[in-house]
């Protein structure tokens, strides 16, 4: 990738007509290709951002990028969007996690709307705060405003996923709007607390969980949580992407 020397933790998003957008950290820099072979470096969304990049495609080929902010909202998640193929970028939100604690390892997915300003953007992240959980926030206006953080573990049978959590990705089914969030968790509650939970990231992380929402993540006025761990996934040790690839089964 041109300009990617020393880069790490890349993210890839592909438009319906095959344009590939690759980003890497830090900060989140970008390259673009129409054939998957020849790439050109394009504009960086925010030269002061801190990385942990995640990309997704919205309506009309809009490219979204999420990463840890720099500046005034450092250790939170910023959302950027380009509607001209990466020539220019707009900072859509500088506190997309809507959480007072420091957030980490963001992932985004987008359900395209009638136009980019009507795209639905979902953000998954975890926190370095006392509860150490994995959350999802939702935007219905192309990443401009996000609702409150909803913990994906609540209301599920992931009883030992109380801390030492690592978000593994989030995806929205383009056909029915169902959302699937993947995360990894430590072995058991006692060991998690002994090793310092998210603050240490010591692990181990032998458990992968997939949580599903069938009503668009949540209703804005609903106090309860409609997420549920998919049966049979509680103790799988297969790669997280395998779980996401089979989310429809």
Sheet holding 165-172, edge to edge: 165-172, 179-185, 207-213, 228-229
How many separate domains does the chain show? Answer: 1
The CATH code of the domain that includes 106 is 2.120.10.10
181-235: per-residue pLDDT in tens?
888 887 776 776 777 676 677 767 778 888 888 877 543 222 223 344 444 433 3
Instruction: Indicate whether 136 belongs to any domain.
Output: yes
Instruction: Indicate whether 208 belongs to any domain.
Output: yes
Instruction: Indicate whether 141 belongs to any domain.
Output: yes
| pLDDT computed for residue 237 by the predictor | 31
Instruction: Indicate whether 196 belongs to any domain.
Output: yes
Q: Look up the domain containing 115 and give its range.
A: 8-245
| pLDDT computed for residue 207 by the predictor | 80
**Using CA atoms, how far apart are residues 232 and 229, in angstroms rounded to an integer?**
9
Burial class (CB in 10 A: 0-12, 13-18, 19+), 242: exposed
In this prediction the pTM is 0.85
Residues lower than pLDDT 50 in the chain: 218-249
| pLDDT computed for residue 245 by the predictor | 43
| pLDDT computed for residue 33 by the predictor | 97
| pLDDT computed for residue 121 by the predictor | 97
């Amino acid at each position: 990738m041109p300009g990617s020397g020393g880069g790490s933790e890349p993210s890839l998003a592909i438009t319906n007509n095959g344009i590939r957008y690759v980003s890497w950290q830090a900060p989140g820099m970008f390259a673009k290709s129409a054939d998957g072979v020849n790439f050109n470096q394009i504009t960086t969304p925010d030269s002061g951002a801190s990385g942990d990049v995640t990309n997704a495609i919205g309506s009309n080929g809009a490219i979204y990028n999420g990463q840890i902010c720099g500046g005034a909202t450092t250790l939170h998640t910023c959302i950027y969007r380009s509607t001209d193929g990466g020539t220019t970028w707009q900072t859509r939100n500088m506190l997309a996690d809507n959480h007072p604690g420091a957030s980490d390892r963001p992932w985004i997915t987008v359900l395209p709307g009638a136009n980019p300003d009507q795209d639905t953007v979902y953000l998954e992240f975890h926190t370095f705060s006392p509860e150490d959980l994995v959350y999802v926030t939702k935007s219905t206006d192309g990443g401009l405003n996000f609702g409150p953080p909803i913990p994906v573990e609540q209301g599920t049978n992931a009883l030992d996923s109380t801390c030492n959590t690592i978000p593994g990705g989030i995806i929205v089914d383009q056909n029915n709007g169902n959302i699937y969030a993947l995360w990894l968790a430590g072995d058991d509650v006692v060991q998690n607390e002994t090793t310092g939970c998210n603050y240490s990231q010591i692990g181990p992380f032998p458990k992968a969980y997939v949580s599903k929402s069938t009503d668009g993540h949540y209703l804005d006025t609903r106090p309860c949580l409609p997420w549920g761990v998919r049966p049979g996934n509680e103790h799988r040790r297969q790669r997280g992407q395998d779980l996401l690839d089979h989310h429809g089964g």
